Amino acid sequence: MKRLLLILVSALFAAGATAQVVETPVKGKTGIRLYDKSVRRTEIILPQIKGYNSYKADFHIHTIYSDGDVTPRQRVHEAWYDGLDILAITDHYKYHPGGQYGAMRLISGAEYHILGPNAPGGVFETFHVVALDADRDPAVSAEMIDGPAPVHQRTREVVETIHAAGGAAILAHPAWSLNTPEQILAIHRETPFDMTEIYNSTSDMPRNCRPY
């Protein structure tokens, strides 16, 4: 599995513009046309760590193919304008391959919702898992998403399937999903997640209030 030292930027963009993007991001270029308006790229200055490269990235983002408002191409341009270097488009149940788009590096991505029942006290037993940097489509099955097996077993199967495709399995916004530590550890002890997304733009108050 490929490894990078990355500075993660966990923010979801919610622009609703519909005009066409007309240029490809170019490394070193400080201005692009975004939605028919000339704009300058926001440069995010990070401290450099000796022996490593620091990148600005967003690994959880959606487009019109799930619950986003713009096309994948427009998302790439928004990310470049906002100062990012790396992007993973993670639409629900749809795999987007990685590659290079101008100066923007794209990492393959998808998001899967493993559906479960509501537990007593209003605690959800549904897990959102993001697949990152897989070599191929993980091909997560409908049975894993909403089959008869217990949700913890199906979530482990999704994680294993992502790993088999060469990807990293990220537990997405457990605070927003109201996953309890006990629920998470029941999966993680047997089939570890590679990372946990601790915050994004939908995780703030009041959605991250737990009922316990």
Give one DSSP letter per residue of 122-165, joined into a string: TEE--EEEEEES-SS-----HHHHH-SS-HHHHHHHHHHHHHHT
Instruction: Enter the pTM of the model.
Output: 0.77
Read off the amino acid at residue 49.
Answer: I
Q: Do 131 and 167 meet the contact criterion of CB atoms below 8 Å apart?
A: yes
Predicted pLDDT at 16: 32
DSSP one-letter code for 92? B
Query: Chunked in runs of 10, what are the mean pLDDT values of the chain (212 residues)?
Result: 38 33 50 59 86 92 90 90 94 95 92 81 78 96 92 95 97 83 90 88 58 42
